[in-house]
Chain A
């Protein structure tokens, strides 16, 4: 067991997958007991053949909580307690063209592999500084997928939405730094300060004081200039499933189709939902419309939906959203609102 495995970083939120490394690897006869404060209803986890635990936590988790997952070797009956620190990474960013953005990640990650990155966005990773550098060259709405590796194993998958808008200044450089995580302590002896460190990290990523590069939803987003499209993607792999243009004078209804003519849907999610997903999606779930040249999203269903900033849109609740944002429906599908 290497030292680097002792730090378990969980990235929480709708778009992040985590892998908790088996501390007894290569031994695979291990069992995991999950921390009680993990929300059961939003937790998806499975043990892979190496004994690592693959986890996805959709709900927002207070990063201040220390989350103790326990892994036990069944052969030696030895129990090792693993403490998780959470970092919460928002997955919507906005930057100007020709802008450079730097993210400093926890040093627990020793490499980063871009999985799906469009040509219009340049990405580099400085392993010494654990820094991800993004550079935008073209306007547009982009999806970036990175794999964070620890000892050659992918322990997190990050999916970011990036909106690049034209800027007046030629080049701007912004930087977000995360405080270093103490790599030296063994997992069972994680100090009590760990939660506060995690909180600092979260705060650093979400609320940078020096450079407001992470878009905070303003009360009223700017008017849209181009044509607005709804893009339906599978949340697990980002696969494009459907797309639909919005037109003035006509709302679009998103939901799962049914035999009822009065519950007609413009964007049918039914073919893409699992059995569980069907139960979590109303026949008329979302109404999306253009009002005052802005996009308004209203939850017209009985189920809650999740916005990309982790806030819930409860039934009957509506909100103006900027293009580039997305809504998660039934935990499985993502409806992105983009401008072309």
Chain B
């Protein structure tokens, strides 16, 4: 492990299953985490690319802060400059009806120019063309100066002008070129669900900015995660055997989402291919895998070969690690059931199911199938309470009451609920960073 920047582990729900049985459901949580923090570990440089909405609506006041959304975003962008390391670069793309490159890989040393150009963002206006934004972003990503590239995509509204699907295609290409894309919305008028699609490509996070300090904090966290990256351009290749079927994969941290599109059934089994962006010191990538397995007459069975490749940002070398997911089998003839359960894995999956049920309820409400949606929301309240997610339960209760009274849910309410539901709340780390140890 001394050569490796990452540690792989897997927890299995339902181990020691009876041998000689057909179609047994197995669930696993696959964890990628960095090793313990090393003092004086070399740090790579990071390219931070701000992809900022500068449309007319950004001039609207941000709640009762007394400031416009635009002012808050510009201040947050400026706050990054003193925190940059010498090798880090900052780029800024302003997008509205068009996209304009305001800062192109500027270093901290160009402080005056950087501040001045960021102020220029205060004077722009137009619509919200996501496609043009992504096109220009792709050019900037390709002109990288550092091994770590972080894109911060921020908007306050729905895409207007350009093709959203094409914007998503370009975003996926940006990620394939090694960047990590985190997205966020400010105010109550953007669509969290749309923004979630952009961050999904690199397993990034989607943020819902509701407090005045959120923007600054999130920008700073992203900069720090880039500076602390121990692995970048992470790619996952999972090959499940021919005796395994109905493979479903979820990301469960840092954000929860179903990863449907990346599963391919082939002659030799089921292949899952994913990109997972970068991993900072203290960070974690966690995935949930659910499948059904035929169990032979043997002491164990291999479910999948899990291979992770990544770029070491310090040495610029590509590294590869693998892990075999095996399940031990028990002999039912030898007496009582020996099945081992793992409540951590079960709870993570119950949270994922809560998110899926919520998305289902939203789809029903959107399709005007209100009686069914109401019933779903009622079930969600109980489900969230059982998991101890009282804040979420309260939000679902509010939504249930609104629907019962024939009222529509606002975009702001939908964003809040989706943000809460998609955020990971159960992560099991096997290592601790130096900072955590001190605590």
Task: Tell me if chain B binds chain A.
Answer: yes
Residues of A within 8 A of B (CB): 247-251, 259-262, 287, 289-292, 296, 298, 318, 320
Taken together as a complex, chains A and B put the C-alpha atoms of A260 and B364 apart, in Å, by: 9
Give the Cβ gap from B243 to chain A, nearest Cβ, in Å: 8
Is the C-beta of B318 less than 8 angstroms from some C-beta in chain A? no
Give the Cβ gap from A115 to chain B, nearest Cβ, in Å: 39
B247 and A249 form a contact (CB under 8 A): yes
Taken together as a complex, chains A and B put the C-alpha atoms of A296 and B266 apart, in Å, by: 20
Which one of B23, B353, B359, B376 lies within 8 Å of A289 (CB-CB)?
B23
Taken together as a complex, chains A and B put the C-alpha atoms of A318 and B292 apart, in Å, by: 14
Is the C-beta of B331 less than 8 angstroms from some C-beta in chain A? no
A-B contact pairs, 14 of them (CB 8 A): A248-B242, A249-B242, A249-B246, A249-B266, A249-B270, A260-B360, A261-B357, A261-B363, A289-B245, A289-B246, A290-B245, A291-B22, A296-B23, A320-B22
Within 8 A of A (CB), among B14-65: 22-23
Q: Which residue of B lies closest to A258 (CB)?
A: B372
Is the C-beta of B142 less than 8 angstroms from some C-beta in chain A? no
B292 and A251 form a contact (CB under 8 A): yes
A248 and B245 form a contact (CB under 8 A): yes
| Known A249-B265, A262-B360; 4 more pairs at CB < 8 Å | A248-B242, A249-B266, A259-B369, A259-B376
Is the C-beta of B283 less than 8 angstroms from some C-beta in chain A? no
Taken together as a complex, chains A and B put the C-alpha atoms of A259 and B364 apart, in Å, by: 8
- Cβ proximity bits B351-373 to A, threshold 8 Å, 1 near / 0 not: 00100110110011000010010
Q: Which residue of B lies closest to A247 (CB)?
A: B265
Which residues of chain A are near B240, meaning CB under 8 Å?
249
Give the Cβ gap from A297 to chain B, nearest Cβ, in Å: 11
Which residues of chain B are near A292, meaning CB under 8 Å?
243, 294
A262 and B270 form a contact (CB under 8 A): no
| Interface footprint category on B | 20 to 34
B356 and A248 form a contact (CB under 8 A): no
Which one of B23, B243, B363, B369 lies within 8 Å of A251 (CB-CB)?
B23
Taken together as a complex, chains A and B put the C-alpha atoms of A262 and B359 apart, in Å, by: 11
With contacts A247-B265, A250-B265, A251-B292 known, is A262 near B23, CB below 8 A? no
Give the Cβ gap from B383 to chain A, nearest Cβ, in Å: 12
Is the C-beta of B167 less than 8 angstroms from some C-beta in chain A? no
Is the C-beta of B244 less than 8 angstroms from some C-beta in chain A? yes
Residues of B within 8 A of A (CB): 22-23, 240, 242-247, 265-267, 269-270, 292, 294, 353, 356-357, 359-360, 363-364, 369, 372, 376
Taken together as a complex, chains A and B put the C-alpha atoms of A260 and B359 apart, in Å, by: 11
Taken together as a complex, chains A and B put the C-alpha atoms of A291 and B376 apart, in Å, by: 35
A249 and B269 form a contact (CB under 8 A): yes
Taken together as a complex, chains A and B put the C-alpha atoms of A324 and B233 apart, in Å, by: 50
Taken together as a complex, chains A and B put the C-alpha atoms of A298 and B359 apart, in Å, by: 29
Give the Cβ gap from A208 to chain B, nearest Cβ, in Å: 32
A251 and B360 form a contact (CB under 8 A): no
Taken together as a complex, chains A and B put the C-alpha atoms of A291 and B245 apart, in Å, by: 9
The 8 closest A-B pairs by CB, nearest first: A249-B265, A261-B360, A259-B372, A249-B245, A249-B270, A291-B294, A291-B22, A251-B246
Which residues of chain A are near B267, meaning CB under 8 Å?
248
Q: Which residue of A lies closest to B296 (CB)?
A: A292
Taken together as a complex, chains A and B put the C-alpha atoms of A320 and B360 apart, in Å, by: 34
B356 and A262 form a contact (CB under 8 A): yes
Taken together as a complex, chains A and B put the C-alpha atoms of A291 and B24 apart, in Å, by: 11
B372 and A287 form a contact (CB under 8 A): no
Taken together as a complex, chains A and B put the C-alpha atoms of A251 and B369 apart, in Å, by: 29
Give the Cβ gap from B356 to chain A, nearest Cβ, in Å: 6
Which residues of chain B are near A296, meaning CB under 8 Å?
22-23
Taken together as a complex, chains A and B put the C-alpha atoms of A289 and B294 apart, in Å, by: 11
From A249, A287, A296, residue with most partner B Cβ within 10 Å? A249
Give the Cβ gap from B373 to chain A, nearest Cβ, in Å: 8
B360 and A318 form a contact (CB under 8 A): no
Q: Which residue of A lies closest to B247 (CB)?
A: A249
Which residues of chain B are near A261, meaning CB under 8 Å?
356-357, 359-360, 363
Which residues of chain B are near A248, meaning CB under 8 Å?
242, 245, 265, 267
Taken together as a complex, chains A and B put the C-alpha atoms of A289 and B269 apart, in Å, by: 15
Q: Which residue of A lies closest to B379 (CB)?
A: A260
Q: Which residue of B lies closest to A249 (CB)?
A: B265
Which residues of chain B are near A249, meaning CB under 8 Å?
240, 242, 244-247, 265-266, 269-270
Give the Cβ gap from B302 to chain A, nearest Cβ, in Å: 16
B245 and A251 form a contact (CB under 8 A): yes
Q: Which residue of B lies closest to A292 (CB)?
A: B294
Taken together as a complex, chains A and B put the C-alpha atoms of A259 and B363 apart, in Å, by: 10
Taken together as a complex, chains A and B put the C-alpha atoms of A262 and B360 apart, in Å, by: 9
Taken together as a complex, chains A and B put the C-alpha atoms of A290 and B22 apart, in Å, by: 10
Which residues of chain A are near B242, meaning CB under 8 Å?
248-249
Which residues of chain B are near A260, meaning CB under 8 Å?
360
A250 and B245 form a contact (CB under 8 A): yes
Give the Cβ gap from B364 to chain A, nearest Cβ, in Å: 6
Which residues of chain B are near A262, meaning CB under 8 Å?
353, 356-357, 360
Which residues of chain A are near B294, meaning CB under 8 Å?
291-292
Which residues of chain B are near A247, meaning CB under 8 Å?
265
Which residues of chain B are near A289, meaning CB under 8 Å?
23, 245-246, 292
Give the Cβ gap from A319 to chain B, nearest Cβ, in Å: 10
B22 and A318 form a contact (CB under 8 A): yes
Give the Cβ gap from B19 to chain A, nearest Cβ, in Å: 14
Taken together as a complex, chains A and B put the C-alpha atoms of A251 and B246 apart, in Å, by: 6
B23 and A298 form a contact (CB under 8 A): yes
Which residues of chain A are near B372, meaning CB under 8 Å?
259
Which residues of chain B are near A290, meaning CB under 8 Å?
245
Taken together as a complex, chains A and B put the C-alpha atoms of A251 and B290 apart, in Å, by: 13
With contacts A259-B369, A296-B22 known, is A250 near B246, CB below 8 A? yes
From A261, A298, A318, residue with most partner B Cβ within 10 Å? A261
Which residues of chain A are near B245, meaning CB under 8 Å?
248-251, 289-290
Taken together as a complex, chains A and B put the C-alpha atoms of A262 and B363 apart, in Å, by: 13
Which residues of chain A are near B292, meaning CB under 8 Å?
251, 289
Taken together as a complex, chains A and B put the C-alpha atoms of A162 and B153 apart, in Å, by: 63
Which residues of chain A are near B360, meaning CB under 8 Å?
259-262
